[in-house]
Amino acid sequence: MSLALIVILPFLGAVLPALMIRSGRAACALSAAWVTILALGLLLTHVPAVLRGEVIQVGWEWIPALGLNVNFFLDGLGLLFAGLILGIGLLVMIYARFYLAKDDPMGNFYTYLLLFQGAMVGIVLSDNILLLLIFWELTSLTSFLLIGYWRHLPEGRQGARMALIVTGSGGLALIAGMLLLGNIVGSYDLTDILQHDPYEIHNSPLYVPALLLILIGCFTKSAQFPFHFWLPHAMAAPTPVSAYLHSATMVKAGVFLLARLWPVLSGPDIWFYLVATTGLVTMVVGAYIALFKDDLKGLLAFSTVSHLGMMTMLLGFATPMAAAVAVFHIINHATFKAALFMNAGIIDHETGTRDTKKLGGLLLLMPITATLAVIAGASMAGLPPLNGFLSKEMMLAEVNQTAWFGQGWLLPLVVTAGALLSVAYSFRYVVHVFFGPQRDDYPSKPHDPPAGLWLPPAFLVGLVVLIGLFPDAIAGDLVRATTAAVTQGGAPDVHLYLWHGFTPALLMSVIAVAGGALAIWRYERVRAWWYAGPHPEAKAMFDRVVAAAIASSKRLVLGLHNGSLQRYLALMISAALVLGFAGFFTATHGSGARPLLSASPVAAIIWLVLLAGCGMVIRYQRDRLLAVIGVGVVGLIVAAMFVYFSAPDLAMTQISVEVVTTILILLALYFLPKETPVESSPMRRRRDAVLAGLTGLGTGGLAWAVMTRDFTSLSSFYLENAHDLGGGDNVVNVILVDFRGFDTFGEIIVLGIAGLTIFALLHAMTRGELYRRLGAWQLDMTKSADRHPMLMVVITRVMLPLVLLVGVYIFLRGHNMPGGGFIAGLVVAIGLIMQYMASGYGWAAQRMTINYHAFIGGGVLIAAVTGIGAMIIGYPFLTGAFDYFSLPVIGKFEVASALGFDIGVFLTVVGGVMLALAHLSDLGRWVSHAPVNEQPMDTLPGAERRHGEGSE
């Protein structure tokens, strides 16, 4: 349990800084730090068990049908990474407190940082790879927020976008790869995958595609060549972010995954040549670019690329010892690189620049900073007795034992060149910033920073020295436990020493250091050589690729999706036709055996009316008002048919919906052209007619075929059980509020959202460009002088109590007789709309101050509370309960929990319908510039016209 808590804590704690910022910056930083300390403390309680070799697991099923579980496990590798993430996270939080300027929104910063931290911890502790992928995507998102934290800087925004695109698309590939891997193994749990026989995985035909996709995911995240270009651009982030994301955490996620899947993926030649070669190229290219970067953070970024390449290469060697070296270097790199990033941040903070050409001679001006930089830089260069030296020596020893394409000498040569470059840029960081003559043109006067800024890197530098001097005592157990986890039992007995004796590796180191020192001594000449060489500009290429991708997807989307409803319908209907007729002609068919019922003459006439209504819609489709009347006729027949086929609930719903729909369409038609222009060519109309005719024939044939056969449906279950299980005799209503209450619940939420959306859209129309256009709009018709006829006002007033009574009646009887909350809601809404129609919206709204938003919210809440009520007494959501009571006078009656649910439905329907209609009509009044009438009805008919007032 505490394992899951380690992951959840940062997410939960992420709200704290956002809230605590009101109490000041210190409180904000402290709240974030305490969350991290708590999580780190929880992690540390597991250390003894993990070092003993135990694997701690915890988990729950989430969607077992998909193989998706929420389960976590902690072994050596997870411990190492979680420790780095939380430990360096804590240091970064302290550092950031002093780094961020006064006007930077600190609450946001710590919230993003904690979210990112939680996502990272999630990656390294997830057992289920689908869960891991979720956290993986979360790191891409949260790092986007962090890199773009200074959103006023265009570089920050562009860098964030580039990082998101590169790591996000890598994440997509990773998803596919992981799914393939899970498919090969038959489980999505890492603990199962790692126990699987690796040879079986290697021999699977899916191995190569899975490997390629997973590697794309890892290489993009870990900035491996040729995906390395995003990392330097991400340096536009505040330095604490760079120190955190780009030294210890995010970029190491790819390396983590390579290490995690090492037991099952490594082994075949393709793994070696892909992973080791990519790592090697990245290592050399990264170091080469780093040497010529003037921006300190850019230098460190490419150095990180180079070191990540080295780890990738070691994992690519696929020997247990090389994996152990990679693990050791992960620790060492995190310590010295985080320290150096913080150091670069200090220089930037205190001198106002991080451009090496403007720096130099800071040694005596910033002695503490200089000391830290010299030690961490020496470790990065791989000088004894620091930890960077140890892992580099071990790496060189591994390289010496590895042949590349059968050539034993090739790899050591290239790696030595890489090491040489690495020494050179490390020296350059130290020499060009801190040594040389003091200058008098620093952008601001350099001095050592407050302790809050130098203590976190000093702590890390302390580790650099201690691990270098006493490697086995400090890091030995952790490296052994982690190696055991990476290699899944194939671990060699690793022991860490400072001194390995005079070995070929030492010779390579000496060459590298001497060459690096030479390069810095003659830096101007080296730089001139570099200057003459090619400099591919990654950002321009990336921008071109993105622009081309956008242009081609635009062409594709706009080509297919051109906004023509006719085209979409034609395609969909054609597809349905082809499938339907293909099925029809490849199977036996004929009408069923059921005897036909005779049709009464009355029904025949009603169907004739239906045909007339349909014909009218087709004939007068361009005259929109006539078409609405035709649709009204069709709706009336449908209602009549429901009555004829004994579905009174549906008939009542249909009748009410018809009225509301007509009003809604007419309200909207006020703002629309009254006639539909001819847009399609005659050819196209003929095509559409053929399609429509064939579809009608097909649908009719289907209906005929189904209805002439006997079939069983679900309805018999509802008919038999509605009374006993749902406590109601009206099966339709019991289905709505009980059997399928969850559907209804979803539907009323949709209805509420629709009402609110219409409101929001209409609200948006009363401003901006539309405001102007609507304001200038003139209705081209002569208005009758009867604005609010007395006859209508009187009738609607008289009818209001009647309508409300009918509404209540239909609502209450709904459970046992036709009716229910939905119909009652429509009835009441129509009753209220009548008042609006009679006396105008403005007048009525002044006297009927009902908050329809609250109706919608309240309705959904009441329905939810009724549903949750069942959960409180231990039944599933929305389980209905009912009982019978009797009172004097009233007699026996039933109380069902479904009634509460129905009240929710009722309120939402009233709120949704009224919100939409009322505001649509309000817009109409506003557009016509008519004042709100003071009287409910016209007391002097025609007065408006006689006075010739401006409302026309």
Partner 1 sequence: MIGFALVFGFFAASLALVFNIWRLVAGPTLMDRVLAFDTMVINFIALIMFWGMQQETTLYFESALLLSMFGFISTVAFCRFRLRGDIIE
Binding to partner 1 (CB under 8 A): which residues in 635-664?
Answer: 636, 639-640, 642-644, 646, 648, 651-652, 655-656, 658-659, 662-663
- For partner 1, the binding residues in 352-391 under the rule CB under 8 A are none
Shortest Å, Cβ 910 to partner 1? 15
Identify whether the C-beta of residue 296 lies closer than 8 Å to the C-beta of residue 429.
Answer: yes
**Three-state helix/strand/coil letters over 497-560:** CCCCCCCHHHHHHHHHHHHHHHHHHCHHHHHHHHHHCCCCCHHHHHHHHHHHHHHHHHHHHHHH
Tokens of 316: 């690519």
| Interface pattern 834-853 for partner 1 (x via CB under 8 A) | x-xx--xxx-----------
**In the range 324-343, which residues lie near partner 1 by CB under 8 A?**
none
Contact region for partner 1 (CB under 8 A) — 48-56, 111-119, 487-495, 624-632? Answer: 624-632
CB nearer to partner 1: pick between 745 and 822: 822
Q: Residue 783 Cβ, how far from partner 1 at the closest point, in Å?
A: 5
Tally helices (H) and strands (E) across the chain: 43, 4
Interface of this chain with partner 1, residues 586 to 605, rule: CB under 8 A: 601-602, 605
Binding mask of the shown chain, residues 743 to 782, with x at each position contacting partner 1 by CB under 8 A: ------------------------------------x-x-
DSSP state letters, 284-302: HHHHHHHHT--BHHHHHHH
Query: Which tokens go with 363?
Result: 């040694």
Among residues 625, 764, 850, 943, which is the contact residue for partner 1, using CB under 8 A?
625
Q: Which residues, numbered 806-835, are part of the site for partner 1 (CB under 8 A)?
A: 806, 810, 817-819, 827, 830, 833-834
Alpha helices in 45-189 (DSSP H): 47-51, 76-99, 106-125, 129-147, 154-185
SS3 52: coil
Cis peptide before 385 (omega within 30 of 0): yes
Among 5, 474, 629, 812, contact with partner 1 (rule: CB under 8 A): 629
Task: Answer yes or no: are the C-beta atoms of 129 and 182 closer than 8 Å.
Answer: yes
Among positions 24, 226, 615, 942, the unique one binding partner 1 when judged by CB under 8 A: 615
Whether 247 contacts 304, CB under 8 Å: yes
Which listed residue (546, 608, 750, 764) binds partner 1 by CB under 8 A?
Answer: 608
Report the distance separating Cα 285 and Cα 303, nearest Å.
Answer: 10
Q: Are 47 and 167 in contact (CB under 8 A)?
A: no
| Local structure of 150: helix, strand or coil | coil
Residue 490 and residue 321: Cα distance in Å, rounded?
A: 10
DSSP states along 296-359: HHHHHHHHHHHHHHHHHHHHHH--HHHHHHHHHHHHHHHHHHHHHHHHHHHHHHHHS--BGGG-
Candidate segments 173-181, 403-411, 576-584, 928-936, binder of partner 1 by CB under 8 A: 928-936
The footprint of partner 1 on residues 59-78 (CB under 8 A) is none
Among 792, 804, 808, 812, binds partner 1 (CB under 8 A): 792
Q: Which is nearer to partner 1, 601 or 874 (CB)?
A: 601
Name the phi and psi angles at 882, rounded to 5: -155, 155
Distance in Å, CB of 796 to partner 1, minimum = 9
* Nearest of 323, 350, 425 to residue 381 by alpha carbon: 425
Q: How far is the CB of 766 from partner 1 (least distance, A)?
A: 16
Q: What does the per-residue mask of binding to partner 1 show for 88-117, with x meaning CB under 8 A?
A: ------------------------------
For Cα atoms 613, 662, 563, give the angle at the middle one, nearest 5 degrees.
85
Residue 786 interacting with partner 1 (CB under 8 A)? yes
Cα–Cα distance between 811 and 821 in angstroms, integer? 5
Shortest Å distance, C-beta 736 to partner 1: 17
Distance between CA 86 and CA 894 in Å, rounded?
60
Closer of 586 and 849 to partner 1 (Cβ): 849
299 vs 640, beta carbon nearer partner 1: 640
> Could you tell me how many residues of this chain bind partner 1 (CB under 8 A)?
68
How many CB atoms within 10 Å of residue 43?
24
Rounded to the nearest whole angstrom, what is the least distance from the CB of residue 11 to partner 1 in the complex? 49
Task: Using the minimum distance from each CB to partner 1, give the nearer residue, 692 or 799.
Answer: 799
666 binds partner 1 (CB under 8 A): yes
Residue 799 engages partner 1 in binding (rule: CB under 8 A): yes
C-alpha 261/C-alpha 273 separation (Å) is 17
Q: Is the separation of the CB atoms in 893 and 884 below 8 Å? A: yes
Distance in Å, CB of 767 to partner 1, minimum: 21
What does the DSSP assignment read for 449-515? PPHHHHHHHHHHHHHHHHHHHSHIIIIIHHHHHHHHHHHTT--------S---S-HHHHHHHHHHHH
Q: Which of residues 208-227 bind partner 1 (CB under 8 A)?
A: none
Q: Which is nearer to partner 1, 530 or 671 (CB)?
A: 671
Residue 606 interacting with partner 1 (CB under 8 A): yes
Can you give the binding site for partner 1, defined by CB under 8 A?
A: 601-602, 605-606, 608-609, 612-613, 615-616, 625-626, 628-629, 632-633, 636, 639-640, 642-644, 646, 648, 651-652, 655-656, 658-659, 662-663, 666-667, 669-670, 779, 781, 783-784, 786-788, 792, 799, 802-803, 806, 810, 817-819, 827, 830, 833-834, 836-837, 840-842, 917, 921, 924-925, 928, 930, 933
